[in-house]
Amino acid sequence: MRRLPVLQSVQSAPRAIVQAAHNVTKPNRDGSPWYARVFRLTTTRILTQAFCFSLFIFLLWVTWFSRLGGYPASLFLELDPLVSFATAVSTHTVYRWLWRSLWILVPTLVLGRVFCGWICPYGTLHQFIGWVFNIRRNKDNIGVNAYRPIFQFKYYLLVVFLILSAFGALQIGLLDPICLLTRSVATAIQPAFDSALPDVLAGISARPGAPHPRVFAGAWFIGFLLIGLVGMNLVIPRFFCRVLCPLGAFLGTLSRFALLRIDRDLTKCTDCNLCMRHCEGASDPQEALRKSECFVCFNCIDDCPEDALAFRLAPVPVHERIIGSLKDGTARLFGRKVISKLPETVLAPPDVPRRRWVFAGIAGLLAFPFLRFSKSVNARSYSAKAIRPPGTVSEPEFLERCIKCDQCINVCPTNVLQPSTLTEGGLEGLWTPVMDFRTGFCQLNCTLCSEVCPTGAIQKIDLARKLGKEAHVEAGPIRLGTAFFNRGRCLPWAMETPCVVCEEVCPTSPKAIGTYQQEITRWDGKKVLLNQPYMRPELCIGCGICEHECPVQDDPAVYVTAIGESRSKDRSLLLGSEVKRT
Amino acid sequence: MSNERRRARQAEPEPSAQELEQQRDHQRIERRALLKGALGLGGAVAAAGWASLAPPSWPLSLRDPDGERGKPKASVRSLPDGGFRVPDAPSVAELGVAHGTQLKPMLLAALDALGGIGRFIERGDVVVIKPNVAFERPAALGATTNPEVLTALIEIVREAGASEIRVADNPIESPSSCFVRSGIQAATQAAGARLFLPTPEEFALLGTPGATWIERWPFFWGPFVGANKVIGVSPIKDHNLCRASMTTKNWYGLLGGRRNQFHQDIHGIIADLALMLRPTFVVLDATRVLFRSGPTGGSLGDVKPGHTVVVSRDSLAADAYGWDNLLERQGEALPAYFAKSAARQLGQPDWRKLSLKEVNVG
């Protein structure tokens, strides 16, 4: 009798399981145990990357009033060695938590660019997107991971950025991957995430309890830049990391001293080039390894069919120890036959010709005057709308410190902090925080931006300092600017209509806005009691809540400009305003 | 065509019968594919034609001849007729005033003067409590409701059998910061009530028939879904424009939208607020009195202790009592919103005409 096929498969199921288990636990051909197949270094790397990426996103997610509770919200920025090095160059100091970058610096000096391959969340994003959308054939994968001279470009950028830092114009934040990703998530991804979130998931919203969806100046540009840079992975894998990343260039330069590297065994390597298939850094493991480009991802070791690659201490190249001729196949190394036709195994320093370092240097020297003598950031003609958050150091010092990471903008509860566009800050101030009082206002009892700033561009202040209380009575409150009335647009002044919301919301005590009361007879004969507001500038702290609440919404009748800000004596308004207020 | 080619062509053999049959087969398939394509295309064109040309009342029509159909239509909510008031009880006082320092006994005493909490809250009620959390200030500055008063009130309402207690306000400054800094969030959570933050999805259009300015206006609707009792608990504050902000002005914190326009007729909008929300009762929290620099304050020098709570069904009476006795502005004319609201039969600003019971606790 024929057995039913279903029955047959049920009976054979246990056997299949046993067989599968047997297959999984079978030792490797080289005799290594089965788990060497699963618990590989590359698996560890992928798990580490997933962890670091999740941690990065988590820390940005907790960067919010109701969630901050001792989390090191700006940890990744503090770990970033370029941030601490460039700010040390520009300020000659290492602010607060920036010493944490030693945790990256030291492993880099020993192992090379492990940060790029294992930790950097932006690198992980690039690697993941490149992997998911990779439709190339194997042959093309090998070709696309070959080193190209354009990969030198990041070193020129680094030179320009470091020279600018030395002059006090910190620009690394434009392209530093941690700054760039923090900024992109804060100003572009976060609003998109929150708007896509269904009501039932409101609890995991990035900005729970925010009264309005958050808006950011130039979010479209920051967002499209993110898509564009990530999208470049479809053309050249890790395009950003290989071509643009100034942090990668910095770590690459340091890597030349690294003790460990991928070492190619010339007596095993058949020059098959399969190691290039998944090479993240395009570091040429198939010939002379470009240590400065290597992300230490270990894919090449996984891919090598001859087991010719290993990550090990290899300080001295071996090609001088080869005896015999490579051409006629008589070459031998330490008694074994050399199979590879490419005797060079390492190229440590970045592949940048000396004259080009010089060119980059000249470009950097010129870049500073180009930036600083642009009107918007120059002390002689600064923008009235470049209003900086409370605790910000004076403008030249600020430009030495701000890395445009926009963590302050991320944490700001009222959305008043905006990434500067070219209008307020020029290119030098691009994406630095400025206050836009039509979007929000500086909440009196809030100092969150000063808590999260990793570089001290906004110095950590407490509430007493901000409000000029307790030990700071002498210094007075921090003033962000001064409010002005535009009587031509003010309802009580120009339109015989009662209003004075500005006076109502003015948070100082006594209020900086007072009113003249007068009864007038309107055009229609109606008697109206008007409170016409005026400003007491010595009391105004420039918080901008008057501007924000002014019903003449599109071009408020009361508005704050930067003049009178207390962070800089050059920008004071009233005679003797540094003297203690009565 | 050259002769050679013609000859070559003539030399070609004719297709076999089998080959011709294959050709016919192919043509049949082509015909079917063509018919299918044509039908699909025709259907799509017909559907597009129907959607765009059929009169608007017909099913599946998208036609919008004058642009009216395309405009968004917001549904308008309404609060129950007569608001959240409980029936009159002539034998008890309309105004309960308690002085002292122990907040819960004071509140209970003031409520007892009105007939006890049992008159207002029944078992299973869903109660909305509206404190004033307008600014991000510590409670000591008197710009916001005293969180201890709120805690006592929540406890009393819970003990009266309420099944759910909700606390809601739409502050002027950043809501989550205001709730934390004022202590209202901690008080709410510690007392086990539910806090509603004014996120955009919580708002809906509210219809208030007869209102001057807010006949239809965005309203903090979320906490009111399923609620059947509403209690206002507001501090007593000086106000730069309307002179005094107390329990009636407190409802301003339930509005959304461009509410900063209302200062152009502040008394009119407060009279509208009195019409919009007719509470179960209100508590005037005069444990602190912000007597100047209102409504924001900002200095302890602007605040004096009041040691008083006032409870009433009539917010105008409670406010007028506060104006005379707590802000100590007796003799000065009441702000215009009192008369405007009274003209709508929304309360009695002349509190002396009402029965009042005053007690000292502890």
Structure tokens at A479: 């003033």
In 10 A of CB B124, how many CB atoms? 10
- In angstroms, the separation between the Cα of residue A556 and the nearest Cα of chain B is 12
Reported as a pLDDT band with limits 50, 70 and 90, residue A147 is very high
- Helix (H) or strand (E) run with residue A500 in it: none
Q: What is the pLDDT of residues A212-221, one digit of tens each?
A: 889 999 999 9
Residue A339 has pLDDT above 60, yes or no: yes
Indicate yes or no: CB of A499 within 8 angstroms of CB of B264. yes
Listed in sequence order, the residues at least 6 apart from A509 whose beta carbon sits closer than 8 Å to its beta carbon are B293, B296, B297, B298, B299, B301, B302
Indicate yes or no: CB of A413 within 8 angstroms of CB of B170. no
Listed in sequence order, the residues at least 6 apart from B69 whose beta carbon sits closer than 8 Å to its beta carbon are B56, B63
* Cβ-based contacts under 8 A for chains A and B: 106
On whether the CB atoms of residues A108 and A81 are closer than 8 A, the answer is yes
Distance of alpha carbon B96 from the chain centroid:
28
Which residues of chain B make contact with A545, given a CB cutoff of 8 A? Answer: 172-173
Using CB atoms, pick whichever of B174, B260, B297 lies closest to residue A414.
B174
Using CB atoms, pick whichever of A199, A505, A507 lies closest to residue B201.
A199
pLDDT at res. A580: 45
Q: How many residues does chain B have?
A: 362
CA dist B264 → A366, A498, B213, B231 (Å) = 56, 5, 11, 28
- In angstroms, the separation between the Cα of residue B324 and the nearest Cα of chain A is 22
Q: Report d(CA A157, CA B171) in Å as an integer.
A: 47
Listed in sequence order, the residues at least 6 apart from A241 whose beta carbon sits closer than 8 Å to its beta carbon are A116, A120, A122, A123, A126, A177, A248, A280, A281, A295
- In angstroms, the separation between the Cα of residue A436 and the nearest Cα of chain B is 15
Percent of chain A with pLDDT over 90: 76
For B:51-80, CB contacts with A below 8 A are none
DSSP summary character for residue A354: H
User: In chain B, whose CA is at the least distance from the CA of A200?
Assistant: B201
On whether the CB atoms of residues B137 and B295 are closer than 8 A, the answer is no
Indicate yes or no: CB of A65 within 8 angstroms of CB of B174. yes
Q: Which residues of A have a CB under 8 Å from any CB of B?
A: 65-66, 199, 202, 208-213, 413-414, 441, 443-446, 491, 497-501, 503-511, 515, 531, 545, 549-551, 553
Reported as a pLDDT band with limits 50, 70 and 90, residue A560 is very high
For tokens 């207690």, name the residue.
Answer: B165
pLDDT at res. A325: 87
Residue B173 contacts A where some CB pair is shorter than 8 Å: yes
pLDDT at res. A164: 97
Reported as a pLDDT band with limits 50, 70 and 90, residue A10 is low
Which residues of chain A make contact with B245, given a CB cutoff of 8 A? Answer: none
Structure tokens at B311: 């409870």
Nearest to B221 by CA among B231, B233, B207, B232: B207
CA angle B48, B53, B58 (to 5 degrees): 100
Phi-psi region of A238 (alpha: psi -120 to 50; beta: other; left: phi over 0): left
Q: Which one of A444, A536, A545 would you mutate to disrupt binding with B, by most B Cβ within 10 Å of its Cβ?
A: A444
Helix (H, G, I), strand (E, B) or coil at B233: strand
- Helix (H) or strand (E) run with residue A530 in it: strand A527-535
Indicate yes or no: CB of A509 within 8 angstroms of CB of B296. yes
Q: What is the pLDDT of residues A185-220, one digit of tens each?
A: 999 999 999 999 988 888 899 988 888 889 999 999
| Amino acid type, A406 | D
Indicate yes or no: CB of B240 within 8 angstroms of CB of A504. yes
Sign of the torsion angle spanned by Cα atoms A346, A348, A350, A351 = negative
Pairing of strands A332-333, A336-337: antiparallel
List, in sequence order, every residue forming a beta bridge with B194; answer none if it has no partner.
Answer: B166
Nearest to A309 by CA among A336, A340, A281, A331: A340
Nearest to A477 by CA among A359, A360, A567: A567
User: In chain B, whose CA is at the least distance from the CA of A492?
Assistant: B264
Low pLDDT (below 70) residues in chain B: 1-2, 7-9
Residue A582 has pLDDT above 70, yes or no: no
| Amino acid type, B291 | F
Which residues of chain B make contact with A211, given a CB cutoff of 8 A? Answer: 170, 174-175, 197-200
Using CB atoms, pick whichever of A209, A545, A550 lies closest to residue B176.
A209
Indicate yes or no: CB of A202 within 8 angstroms of CB of B199. yes
On whether the CB atoms of residues A240 and A232 are closer than 8 A, the answer is yes
Which residues of chain B make contact with A200, given a CB cutoff of 8 A? Answer: none
Reported as a pLDDT band with limits 50, 70 and 90, residue A581 is very low
Structure tokens at A140: 């093309």
pLDDT at res. B311: 96
Residue B142 contacts A where some CB pair is shorter than 8 Å: no
Strand segments, DSSP code E, in A252-356 are: 260-264, 289-290, 309-313, 332-333, 336-337, 346-347
Average pLDDT estimate for A44-70:
94
Q: Report d(CA A244, CA A363) in Å as an integer.
A: 16
pLDDT at res. B309: 96
Counting Cβ atoms within 10 Å, is residue B1 exposed (0-12), middle (13-18) or buried (19+)? exposed
- Read off the pTM: 0.88
Q: Which ranges constitute the DSSP H helices of A112-196?
A: 114, 121-132, 138-144, 153-167, 177-184, 190-196
Reported as a pLDDT band with limits 50, 70 and 90, residue A326 is confident
Helix (H, G, I), strand (E, B) or coil at A170: coil
On whether the CB atoms of residues B199 and A202 are closer than 8 A, the answer is yes
pLDDT at res. B259: 92
N- to C-terminal Cα separation, chain B:
123
Q: Report d(CA A413, CA A446) in Å as an integer.
A: 9
Per-residue 3-state assignment (H helix, E strand, C coil) for A260-307: EEEEECCCCCCCCCHHHCCCCCCCCCCCCEEHHHCCCCCHHHHHCCCC
Using CB atoms, pick whichever of B136, B200, B298 lies closest to residue A443.
B136
List, in sequence order, every residue forming a beta bridge with B77; answer none if it has no partner.
Answer: B206
| Amino acid type, B216 | R
On whether the CB atoms of residues B319 and B57 are closer than 8 A, the answer is no
- In angstroms, the separation between the Cα of residue A507 and the nearest Cα of chain B is 6
pLDDT at res. A351: 86
DSSP summary character for residue A26: P
Using CB atoms, pick whichever of A413, A444, A511 lies closest to residue B176.
A413
N- to C-terminal Cα separation, chain A:
108
* ipTM for the complex shown: 0.84
Listed in sequence order, the residues at least 6 apart from A513 whose beta carbon sits closer than 8 Å to its beta carbon are A483, A500, A502, A503, A506, A533, A534, A535, A536, A546, A558
On whether the CB atoms of residues A535 and A483 are closer than 8 A, the answer is yes
Listed in sequence order, the residues at least 6 apart from B246 whose beta carbon sits closer than 8 Å to its beta carbon are B234, B235, B236, B237, B284, B315, B318, B319, B322, B323
Q: What are phi and psi of B100, to 5 degrees?
A: 150, -160
